[in-house]
Structure 1
Amino acid sequence: MTERLEADEAERNGCRILLVDDDPGLLRLISLRLESNGYLVDTAESGEAALGRVAAQAPDAVITDLRMEGMDGMALFRQLRERDPALPVVILTAHGTIPDAVAATREGAFGFLTKPFDSAELLETIAEATGRNRAGAGRSASWRESIVTRSHAMETLLSELEMVAESDASVLLIGESGTGKEVIARAIHDASPRRNGPFVAINCASVPAELLESELFGYRKGAFTGADSDRDGLFVTAAGGTLLLDEIGDMPAAFQAKLLRALQEKRVRPVGAAEEVATDVRVVSATHRDLERAIRDGDFREDLFYRLNVVQFDVPALRDRPEDIVPLAEHFLADIQKDRLKADRIQGFSRDALRVLLGHDWPGNVRQLANVVEQACVLCRKGPVPANLVQRALRRDPTGVQPLAEARDAFERDYLVRIMRMAGGNVSEAARLAGRNRTEFYRLLGRHQLEPGDFKD
């Protein structure tokens, strides 16, 4: 009896997973693995049937085979993304089709698993997709709490970053403006033995060339007009911690030799001082520029490049990790609600708004996304943020009109789902509401592979 109660509790607390595969044996095997871990599992043997199950049951995640007769996994994923951009979809693939699965993740699929699947990897992937392990991950890896991601590219970067953080090696972050390089730099600091020391950042492009030396190295009283007292530079301020040299590619050529010497000797000479001061900092650099090209053009010192580039991380652009767009937008919305006490008025994004967000290229990356979310929220009075406010923030017209046949099918399926929900799964009542005879209504349900039993309480 106790075991039955525990199983019931697991089912009540479990997430609902939809499995889609035309291999009944594999469906049974994966179902057993997930059900034994407390998940509620629905199955479908075709992509068409899966669309009906999703409409009726609203799963928390979908696992679909890539190669199926009729509607394949990619076509199913694209239709699911169109209907619910936030629904995590995991692609199940044979080794020969891994490149196709990788392409799917670039379009926004949550991830992929290879056949034959590994049970531990399956459970870990579904836990990540449904958010089961996020609270635990936050407690055991506090260094990455500020990084919101579902992207395999970012997860790979973070796993490598954690290993590198244990050393004092200089790190160079390469990536477009707005990709979050400073957030990554802070994560390196928080994952390192220097985490209890200061984290100090300076944008080298924003400081005039004549002031950069005094900002970084400090100065002594009387060194120049206005130097009324001694002042430590950032190399001293960040002692015991991490110093981020952001936009290092824009550092004036005249100062690069002085920076190289400071990094080599681990000592700096404040402006106007007779003696050098020892430094103890871990240097992380970041830039959106192609430094190797800058070296060829004579704008950046090759020896400084090698001193800074002990370990290099390429931070992916937001368009290369579209699966992060929705969780990032929701994260920014939550922050805005917290700051402005609008939590009782704004409830997430409408599906159309999510489609607009997913359809944008984001040349300004994460910074642009944060700005668009804030603009849309300022004008939103209540309810989900609508698509027109997102479009207004993006300053563009709506795009992406569906072909007529797809739009008609989508409308018919949604209409049938609403009618069946109203009728509680009673086909005779649903047919009466739709103004059709029972036989014709059954034919419509069959066309869209909707099962009446899925709509009963």
Structure 2
Amino acid sequence: MNKPLALIVDDEPDIRELLEITLNRMSIRTACAENIAQAKALLKQESCDLCLTDMKLPDGNGLELVDFIQTLSAPIPVAVITAHGNMESAILAMKKGAFDFVSKPFDLPGLRLLINNALKLSDAGTTKERRTRHTLLGESLIMQEIRAKIGKLARSQAPVYISGESGSGKELVAKLIHQQSSRSDHAFVAINCGAIPHDLMESEFFGHKKGSFTGAVSDKKGLFQAAEGGTLFLDEVADLPLSLQVKLLRAIQEKKIRPVGDQQEIPVDIRLLSATHRNLNDMVRDGSFRQDLYYRINVIDLHVPPLRERPGDIPALVEHILAKLTGANKQDRPVLSASALAALQKYHFPGNVRELENIMERALALYDGNNIESDDLNLPIDAHKAAKSPEYSPVLGSLEDHLEGIERKAITLVLEENEGDKTAAAKQLGLSFRSLRYRLKQLDMDH
């Protein structure tokens, strides 16, 4: 089997020699270029497996080479060499498609890790992209674009910020990026930042040494160390306190952490993915989220659309959810009636896919026969109108509480009009008697 070939682009002979020695010891062949013109010529002649390029070259900027490699029929991983602390150049290079960056002076163990990760990337990307169709469901144009972008992001080490409403599938997207990446044989560690008490966050993230604080009865590894070699997913990253934001920024930039109570920094090798349903731009403006950390985690932004923007995907999602909930084969599992499916496709889904799962679970408990009817779905009454109502105010609490109040009021009025006759009230509301009785029980009105 042929040894992989790496292209080294740097105008300093000492740097080229150091990189050549390092790569040759890793059984990697090398080809060298002093400038962009030589590098482009070599890329046209040779079938390279990866490229290491300096940012400052005699005839231009290394970013030009990054752009050129992205236009090749089979782009190779390219890592840029930056001056220590020059994160702006590194971030810009990764936005353009660079695999990763390495700072001078070189940390050789870190450099070898980077090279090994780059070489793990193979041409299996297309196969893996096809697999995502069975996990991230939907054939709408927007979902096809997201799956394609996941495949592209998996070939990079760049931090990705996944935005989207609650329940839209942000963690699923993060898992797919990890599973298709060169890190897939290592851990995927997900943490909800809003679920950790603030006084324990630093210890949870970076670990601690025995005796560093009351209750620290032994050494403990943090989440960064648990994700070593793999991917760390920070969900609801907007909930991080400012004090930890500073330390997280340093850990990302230096690729090192310091456990609580330890004097030494520990190198870590992780890919960082983050997400939140909140608007980080607004938080940066009001000072509750650091701008420098925002730019560092938001090298690439991937937006997951709400379910109401892709109603054409609902039939496939429903079929998948029913199969998961019932465990039955296609012939034995219940199906949605045309009216039930139409009702779901008109509904605005404030809770997105997670809410759809809850609706289908409830429907399975209520339906009779082979079909799930629209009554069995128990969608909130006038939910769509309520969501747009000018009377709604955040003072009232969550949208779910507000909608529940509207439903309670509507049912109470209709029961009064029918003098407590539930059968007549159900008919007036367009519900089956069983559905009305279920809603009365859910709203604690069945007395």
* Contact 1:189–1:199 (8 Å) recurs in 2: yes
- With over 3 angstroms needed to count, the CA separation of the structure-2 counterparts of 1:397 and 1:317, relative to structure 1, is closer
Aligned-pair CA distance for 1:313: 0.8
- With over 3 angstroms needed to count, the CA separation of the structure-2 counterparts of 1:214 and 1:398, relative to structure 1, is closer
Aligned-pair CA distance for 1:250: 1.6
The one-letter amino acid paired with 1:284 is L
> Which residue does 1:379 correspond to in 2?
366
The structure with higher relative contact order (CA 8 Å, sep 6+) is: 1
- CA deviations 1:222-246 (Å, max 9, x no partner) are 2222222211111010111111011
- CA deviations 1:373-420 (Å, max 9, x no partner) are 111112235412121110x2x2326999xxxxxxxxxxxxxxxxxxxx
> Partners of 2:365 and 2:332 in 1: how far apart?
12
Mapping of 1:58-137 within 5 angstroms? none
> Which residue does 1:395 correspond to in 2?
380
> Which residue does 2:74 correspond to in 1?
none
> Partners of 2:383 and 2:355 in 1: how far apart?
18
> Partners of 1:229 and 1:146 in 2: how far apart?
40
Q: What SS class does the counterpart of residue 289 from structure 2 fall into?
A: coil
Aligned-pair CA distance for 1:172: 0.5
* Contact 1:346–1:384 (8 Å) recurs in 2: no
* Contact 1:337–1:343 (8 Å) recurs in 2: no
> Partners of 1:162 and 1:138 in 2: how far apart?
10
> Which residue does 2:167 correspond to in 1?
178
Q: What SS class does the counterpart of residue 224 from structure 1 fall into?
A: coil
The question of 1:187 aligning with 2:176 is answered: yes
Q: What SS class does the counterpart of residue 184 from structure 2 fall into?
A: coil
Query: Moved runs in structure 1, 4+ residues, more than 6 A?
Result: 137-140, 397-400
* Contact 1:219–1:272 (8 Å) recurs in 2: yes
Aligned counterpart for 2:245 among listed residues 237, 256, 265: 256
> Partners of 1:318 and 1:397 in 2: how far apart?
18
Q: What SS class does the counterpart of residue 231 from structure 1 fall into?
A: coil
Q: What SS class does the counterpart of residue 141 from structure 1 fall into?
A: helix
- With over 3 angstroms needed to count, the CA separation of the structure-2 counterparts of 1:191 and 1:143, relative to structure 1, is farther
> Partners of 2:239 and 2:373 in 1: how far apart?
40
- With over 3 angstroms needed to count, the CA separation of the structure-2 counterparts of 1:139 and 1:161, relative to structure 1, is closer
> Partners of 2:128 and 2:162 in 1: how far apart?
26
- CA deviations 1:144-177 (Å, max 9, x no partner) are 5311111101111221221121010000011111
* Contact 2:335–2:370 (8 Å) recurs in 1: yes
The one-letter amino acid paired with 1:350 is S
> Partners of 2:128 and 2:365 in 1: how far apart?
33
The one-letter amino acid paired with 2:348 is D
Aligned counterpart for 2:294 among listed residues 301, 305, 313: 305
Q: What SS class does the counterpart of residue 195 from structure 2 fall into?
A: coil
The question of 1:366 aligning with 2:358 is answered: no
> Which residue does 2:227 correspond to in 1?
238
* Contact 1:214–1:271 (8 Å) recurs in 2: yes
Q: TM-score w.r.t. structure 2 length? A: 0.55
> Partners of 1:161 and 1:300 in 2: how far apart?
26
> Partners of 2:237 and 2:214 in 1: how far apart?
28
- With over 3 angstroms needed to count, the CA separation of the structure-2 counterparts of 1:342 and 1:397, relative to structure 1, is farther
Aligned counterpart for 1:215 among listed residues 166, 191, 204: 204
Q: TM-score w.r.t. structure 1 length? A: 0.54
Structure 2 runs not aligned, ≥5 long = 1-125, 386-447
The question of 1:157 aligning with 2:142 is answered: no
- CA deviations 1:297-331 (Å, max 9, x no partner) are 00110100111011111111111111111211111
The one-letter amino acid paired with 1:380 is Y
The question of 1:351 aligning with 2:347 is answered: no
Aligned-pair CA distance for 1:334: 0.7
Aligned-pair CA distance for 1:190: 1.0
> Which residue does 1:130 correspond to in 2?
none
Q: What SS class does the counterpart of residue 232 from structure 2 fall into?
A: strand
> Which residue does 1:284 correspond to in 2?
273
Q: What SS class does the counterpart of residue 281 from structure 2 fall into?
A: helix
- With over 3 angstroms needed to count, the CA separation of the structure-2 counterparts of 1:353 and 1:174, relative to structure 1, is same
Seq. identity, %: 44
* Contact 2:128–2:180 (8 Å) recurs in 1: no
The question of 1:227 aligning with 2:212 is answered: no
Aligned-pair CA distance for 1:221: 1.6
- With over 3 angstroms needed to count, the CA separation of the structure-2 counterparts of 1:389 and 1:191, relative to structure 1, is same
The one-letter amino acid paired with 1:361 is H
> Partners of 1:293 and 1:354 in 2: how far apart?
37
Q: What SS class does the counterpart of residue 324 from structure 1 fall into?
A: helix
> Partners of 2:383 and 2:298 in 1: how far apart?
43
- With over 3 angstroms needed to count, the CA separation of the structure-2 counterparts of 1:249 and 1:355, relative to structure 1, is same
- With over 3 angstroms needed to count, the CA separation of the structure-2 counterparts of 1:370 and 1:265, relative to structure 1, is same
Q: What SS class does the counterpart of residue 363 from structure 1 fall into?
A: coil
Pairwise CA RMSD: 2.2
The question of 1:333 aligning with 2:322 is answered: yes
* Contact 1:245–1:284 (8 Å) recurs in 2: yes
The one-letter amino acid paired with 1:200 is V
- With over 3 angstroms needed to count, the CA separation of the structure-2 counterparts of 1:139 and 1:312, relative to structure 1, is closer
- How many residue pairs were aligned? 260
* Contact 2:347–2:384 (8 Å) recurs in 1: no
